[in-house]
Structure 1
Amino acid sequence: MPNELMIDRVIAAPRDAVWRAWTEHLDEWFCPAPWRVAESEVEWRAGGIFRTVMEGPAGERVDEGAGVILEIVPGERIVFTDALTPDWRPRGPFMVATIELADAGEGTRYTATCRHWTEEACAQHEAMGFHAGWGAAADQLERVAQRIAAQ
């Protein structure tokens, strides 16, 4: 699809562990090291807030403001956007992200799709390092999910 970026891979962990990593351990993996999630506020329900503040190794901080969770299907799907604030006010949209989980043998098919309003926003996200960054975060997600599965 136009204006879409995607990560699609099989994570070597059961789907319930990947879901728990997403919904209970977001701060541990959501941005690629050496960056980290310095703050987060997430309400895991449709209409809930989705906000993360990322901090770099030199103390730089990225806080793009709070977005909204649009849809939750437990164990299967999370959709969130930065196009709306938690009080349903429109703002300059960048993307809608859809996270989909499906069984894949003993692992989980993990598909993260970012849809952008414009070709320019999509190109900007790609130039920011979408594939490397979201890929590294998916690697970290896999490690957290494997740890959860082993508990």
Structure 2
Amino acid sequence: MNPDLDLTLERIIRAPRAEVWKAWTDPASFEQWWIPAPMQCRVERFEARPGGALVTRMSEDGTAFVPHLDASFLLVDELERIVFTNAVDSAWRPAAPEPVVMTAEIIFGDHPDGTDYRVIVRHGDPASRARHEKLGFAEGWGTVTGQLAALAEERAAR
């Protein structure tokens, strides 16, 4: 982790790691938490494997969906780690997405209370990191992580 280039988020999710992993890797579950509510998410492509596509759309009204994320998975280590980037789109073409190019690493660990969930979002330069932070990284990623936790915790309680 490089504090000049990376933004991080950590949370203990009170659900087993397998439940959090499932909420992350099942497209129907992913749609339920990936975008801050009340916005809605639609998964266009979700291939949780190295080189697989991660393409989502978002909507304010549930009717008109616009592009949100066109990315590629770089690494998918079951129950351990997911790495994806929007620097390479779902067709494996170099991309320069607005507002920021990033590579995100999601780490799933065991914790006595459930899952130690960690996010590291890497940027190519300090200006990109600062832009992402100013645009609301902590609030946005914090909100969706809360939504992920709520889904996984609810399922674990069943």
Matched residue of 2:10: which SS? strand
**Contact 1:4-1:113 within 8 A present in 2 as well:** yes
- Aligned residue number for residue 3 of structure 1: 5
- Aligned residue number for residue 36 of structure 1: 40
**Contact 1:27-1:40 within 8 A present in 2 as well:** no
1:118 to 119, 125, 130: 125
Q: CA deviation at 1:106?
A: 3.0
* Partner Cα distance (2:87, 2:59) in 1: 22
- Which runs of 4 or more aligned residues in structure 1 lie more than 3 Å from their structure 2 counterparts after TM superposition? 57-62
Structure 1 position 102 matched with structure 2 position 109: yes
The letter of the residue matching 1:81 is: T
Q: CA deviation at 1:36?
A: 1.7
1:81-114 C-alpha deviation (Å, 9 max, x unpaired): 0111233221226000000000010310100110
Mean Cα deviation higher: 22-31 or 55-64: 55-64
- Aligned residue number for residue 83 of structure 2: 79
* Partner Cα distance (2:91, 2:69) in 1: 12
* Partner Cα distance (1:116, 1:34) in 2: 28
Change (3 A) 1:61 1:6: farther
* Partner Cα distance (1:136, 1:130) in 2: 10
**Contact 2:40-2:62 within 8 A present in 1 as well:** no
Task: Give the TM-score of the pair, scaled to structure 2.
Answer: 0.87
Task: Give the TM-score of the pair, scaled to structure 1.
Answer: 0.91
Change (3 A) 1:62 1:4: farther
Q: CA RMSD in A?
A: 1.9
Structure 1 position 45 matched with structure 2 position 43: no
Q: CA deviation at 1:16?
A: 0.5
Structure 1 position 147 matched with structure 2 position 147: no
Matched residue of 1:51: which SS? strand
- Aligned residue number for residue 60 of structure 2: 56
Change (3 A) 1:64 1:146: closer
Unaligned residue ranges in structure 1 (runs of 5+): none
Unaligned residue ranges in structure 2 (runs of 5+): none
Q: CA deviation at 1:39?
A: 3.7
The letter of the residue matching 1:45 is: R
* Partner Cα distance (1:62, 1:130) in 2: 20
* Partner Cα distance (2:62, 2:127) in 1: 29
Matched residue of 2:90: which SS? coil
* Partner Cα distance (1:136, 1:65) in 2: 17
